[in-house]
Amino acid sequence: MPDRSGSRIDHLNLAVPDLAAAVEFYEPVLASIGISKMLVIPSGYEEGKPGMTGFGLADVKPYFWLVDEGEVGSNMHLAFTVDTRAQVETFYRAALDAGATSLIAPSVHAEYHGDYYGAFVLDPHGINLEAVCHHPI
């Protein structure tokens, strides 16, 4: 099987219209796959700058940022890689419990490759989120 690990993306900022509501949704959902809130930057930290909340893996760095006072773009999709199919299912359940809408329940998506196992939800702001495992376990 090819190595599907790694990424050249250092961090991603996601604009949301209501930061508090977004953090309330994302904090438990991301925690279900080992990603935690790491840094909160209040609005006005620099003149004219909105507040931001950064999430990442413990003791590394925040790489996923929610930025307040923004507009969600059309056709926005964000996928988080996980290590096991069970984590895909945990993410999916946590997202639904936090208020997401189901798009595609956890399943194999052979159109991408034979071991692609993913689940898709819409967050409360309409962003298409996915957890994906690239392993046969």
Residue 77 lies in a domain: yes
Assign 100 a pLDDT band (cuts: 50, 70, 90): very high
Q: Is the residue at 5 inside a domain?
A: no
Residue 64 lies in a domain: yes
pLDDT (mean) for 43-53:
90
Q: Does residue 2 fall inside a structural domain?
A: no
**124 belongs to a structural domain:** yes
Question: Model confidence over 57-83: pLDDT tens digits?
Answer: 888 899 999 999 999 988 899 999 999
The dihedral through the CA atoms of 117, 121, 123, 126 has a sign that is positive
Round the average pLDDT of the chain to a whole number and report it.
Answer: 93
Q: Count the domains in the chain.
A: 1
Q: For the whole model, what pTM was predicted?
A: 0.91
At 104, which CATH number? 3.10.180.10
Which domain range does residue 75 map to?
A: 12-133
Asked if residue 104 belongs to a domain, the reply is yes
